[in-house]
Structure formats: structure tokens, C-alpha cells
Structure 1
Amino acid sequence: MMLNRRVALGALAICGLMLSATSKAQSYSGEATLATPVATPSETVIDGITWRCEDTKCVGRSLRAPKSSQTLECRKLALAVGQVTAFRSRGRRLSDDAIAECNGGAK
């Protein structure tokens, strides 16, 4: 009876450690609205972020958060797919001034 209890407690401890490690992994999500729709749905990988664009909407996903600023993330996307009218990542939206900076040099 004591052995079964120890096995059960050990299993619970292992599960707790696994859940803890999973929750520490930072995932990334971003959204962008394009000024001009893409001709066909597309997928572009930029700095480990997979951006899927359809019409005027792009959604970015990654298992890890990038180290660059939001404005730089936006700029790299704009260079790849075209001008952006709105950009959100890490729970924050870029300001109009930052969007203007983002679009510098975009298609």
C-alpha cells in the first residue's frame, strides 16, 4: 500500500514538472492587416515566425518569441508582403507613427 502511494506521488511530481516546463516555453502570435490584398494565399517564414497571409490579413505563429522589436518585426513583414495598415504582436498594437516607420521601404 505504501509503495503504491509513493508511485502515485512520483507520477504526480513528474506530471507537474512536465506541465511547468511546457508553460515556460514562450510562444509567439502576431497579426497584420495589409494595405493591398495578396494575390493568392501565401506562407512566409521570417526569423522563425511563420506568417500566413490571405486577402489583407496575415497571422504569424512561432514556438518562440523573437528578440527584435515590434517595429522591426513589422518592417520585415512589410518588406516581404507589402505595406501594413495595422500590426499587433505580444498583446500590443503598433501606433500609427510606428506603422509609418514599419512601412519605410515596403513594396
Structure 2
Amino acid sequence: MLRSAILGAAALALSAPAIAGTFVFETANPVSDRHVIAESVVWTCEDTKCFGELDRKKASVRICKKIAKEVGVITALRNDKSELTADELEACRSAAKS
């Protein structure tokens, strides 16, 4: 019985999604609110830099566009494993809030 419970717990742990990682985005202009909600995350902002926990492995243009709709032009989006390139940031600009 105990063995079955341990095996079941191990299987569940292995099938669970990756744990959220800290992402950082930077904006062209200071963010007016201390807290911004974008991509279903509450981001904590100071001046032009914002931090949030996002359940993704790497930065993407899709994430960037969703954030840009809320805060404007994004100049950087990264976590400890990835960062958007200049071309990807340019693709993100089309979604930026005016």
C-alpha cells in the first residue's frame, strides 16, 4: 500500500508542469503603476524594470506582446535561461500600448 502511494506521488510529480521562474522585462518609459497585470501575472515594477513569476521555460514574442499591450514598448524580456533578441523585440513592438 505504501509503495503504491509513493509510486503514485512520484508519477504525479514527474507529470506536473515546470515550476514558475522569475522573468524580467524592461520598458522604454517608466511604468506608471507599481503593480501591472499581464499574461495572468502580477508584475512588480520599479521605474522601467518589472519582475514576475511566470510558468514558462523561456521568453517568447507571444509573452512580450501580451505585456506590451499593458505597458507599452518593451526593450528587454528575459529569465535566467533565455532573452529575446533585437529582432524578436522589434516583432513585439507592434503590440505596444500607445
- TM-score using structure 2 length: 0.70
| Residues 43-80 of structure 1: per-residue CA shift (max 9 Å, x gap) | 3142xx31413122223334x549xx811110110111
CA shift for structure 1 position 16: 4.4
| Residues 25-52 of structure 1: per-residue CA shift (max 9 Å, x gap) | 2234332112222123113142xx3141
Partner residue, 1:59:
51
- Which segments of 5 or more consecutive residues in structure 2 lack a partner in the other structure? none
- TM-score using structure 1 length: 0.65
- Which segments of 5 or more consecutive residues in structure 1 lack a partner in the other structure? 1-9
Partner residue, 2:2:
11
Partner residue, 2:26:
33
Is the CA contact (8 Å cut-off) linking 1:38 and 1:53 kept in structure 2? no
Tell me how far apart the structure 1 counterparts of residues 11 and 26 of structure 2 sit (CA, whole Å).
35
CA shift for structure 1 position 24: 2.8
Is the CA contact (8 Å cut-off) linking 2:38 and 2:66 kept in structure 1? no
Residue 32 of structure 2 aligns with an amino acid whose one-letter code is A
Q: How many residue pairs were aligned?
A: 93
Is the CA contact (8 Å cut-off) linking 1:28 and 1:90 kept in structure 2? no
Tell me how far apart the structure 2 counterparts of residues 90 and 72 of structure 1 sit (CA, whole Å).
18
Greater gyration radius: 1
Moved more, 71-80 or 19-28: 19-28
